[in-house]
Structure 1
Amino acid sequence: MRVLTDLRDDDHRLARWVASWRSDCARRALPAVEEAAQHTKLWWGAAGVLYATGPRGRRAAAAGLASMAVAEVVSNGVLKHMWHRRRPPKEWISHEEVHDRPDSSSFPSGHTSAGVAFSAAVAAVWPWAGAVCAVPAAMVAAERVHTGAHYPSDVVAGAAIGLTAAAFVHRALHRAIRLLR
């Protein structure tokens, strides 16, 4: 039980530290990336760009969108309804973004699961493009803690869901291709 208490305390300390970042770059860049990621707009846009690059891009876009859909169902459709966790206290956030937090459960981070699922699935098809997509995915994850929408453990759980969704879709696509041959 002591280990869980220590983990929770570390999670809270890290959340307060990230929320207290005073960097102008963080204050400008993170909200812009998060706004683009609202309702998965960023990942749909990235899929459109990938699609336009040719057959490899179309495969990467399809894998990314399928993985994102799986991650969204698991994180937002199932887990958020199973576990209710309050958002970090508003007093921990020393900037104006504290009022833009959702009312749903904090666990897990759906934004993170979608971004990681999309990026990891794209990387499995086209590593360079996946690496490019991973940059805004990491920024979205940091922003979710910086604005007090999530604890770091919510973001870690979201990333794990995203990676699992990408692996599941990758495996399912390979099986489907083998069956079609």
Structure 2
Amino acid sequence: MILALDGSSIDGSAYTDVVNLARHTPAWLDDTVSAWSTYGLALFAVLMVVGWWRARRVSATASVTALAVPFVVVAAYGVDAALKLLVHEDRPCQTLHVATLEACPAPGDWSFPSNHAAIAAAAAVALLFLSRRLGTIAVVAAGAMAASRVWVGVHYPHDVVAGVAVGALTALLVMPAVRRNTGALALRLTATCLRPLLAAQ
């Protein structure tokens, strides 16, 4: 069943307020937010690599936790993509016909929930299970990513809230299960060609 949600009836006015504000802010701020919206997910990849590099110097079980983080992100993206296909919400820039900082995605590139927000939130929550410091950085970055997607005009506020919820819940469901089984997983993986990923030689 396809829901065909009309997001403008939920928080279209809030979206319009944000987009209009973005049009009246200094160009350097808009350029910074646009760059972050487009390329910011790379920071989460860097944080995951840093977390894994540190973990493999601690123990094989810590490495298993670190290696689980990108899998959680992929799982969150899969859930988010499935919801997009179920809901079929048009992008706000298509429905409300407003000028936006970022080019409006083509019809059929659905808006709800936000992939960027889901990926960022999943990475942030999963990283908290690995390192409080890295996780805190990622949480702040995830909030900035979610906000930027509304600022550049490609998502309603409820899209990014839903995306954050999808990512966070996916991580909260998967990471505790991984943590409970890190010992067994480490033993299995050390017997495979993946052993170098688990501990520094």
Report TM bin, short chain.
0.7 to 0.9
Equivalent position of 1:29 in the other structure: 32
Q: Pairwise CA RMSD of aligned residues?
A: 2.6
Equivalent position of 2:42 in the other structure: 41
**How many Å apart are 1:74 and its aligned residue?**
0.2
1:125 aligns with 2:130: yes
Q: How many pairs were matched up?
A: 171
Equivalent position of 1:83 in the other structure: 87
**How many Å apart are 1:113 and its aligned residue?**
0.3
Distance in 2 (CA, whole Å) between partners of 1:102 and 1:95 is: 14
1:157 aligns with 2:162: yes
Equivalent position of 2:192 in the other structure: none
Unaligned runs of at least 5 residues, structure 1: 1-6
Deviations 1:12-68 (A, max 9, x none): 11111111223335402211212224xx53322222232333446845642431221
Distance in 1 (CA, whole Å) between partners of 2:113 and 2:100 is: 23
Moved more, 123-132 or 99-108: 99-108
The answer to whether the 8 A contact 1:64-1:119 is kept is: no
Distance in 2 (CA, whole Å) between partners of 1:119 and 1:101 is: 26
**How many Å apart are 1:139 and its aligned residue?**
1.6
Distance in 2 (CA, whole Å) between partners of 1:19 and 1:164 is: 29
The answer to whether the 8 A contact 2:34-2:101 is kept is: no
Moved more, 138-147 or 57-66: 57-66
Change (3 A) 1:138 1:92: farther
Tell me the percent identity. 26
TM-score by length of structure 2 reads: 0.73
The answer to whether the 8 A contact 1:122-1:129 is kept is: yes
Equivalent position of 2:196 in the other structure: none
Larger relative helix fraction: 1
Q: Which one has a bigger Cα radius of gyration?
A: 2
Match of 2:141 among 129, 136, 139: 136
The answer to whether the 8 A contact 1:47-1:64 is kept is: yes
What are the residue-to-residue correspondences of 1:56-75 with 2, within 5 Å?
58=63, 61-75=66-80
**How many Å apart are 1:173 and its aligned residue?**
0.4
Change (3 A) 1:163 1:142: same
Distance in 1 (CA, whole Å) between partners of 2:167 and 2:77 is: 9
Deviations 1:69-98 (A, max 9, x none): 11101002x11111101111355644442x
Unaligned runs of at least 5 residues, structure 2: 1-6, 188-201
Distance in 2 (CA, whole Å) between partners of 1:28 and 1:59 is: 38
TM-score by length of structure 1 reads: 0.80
The answer to whether the 8 A contact 1:123-1:129 is kept is: yes
The answer to whether the 8 A contact 2:87-2:112 is kept is: yes
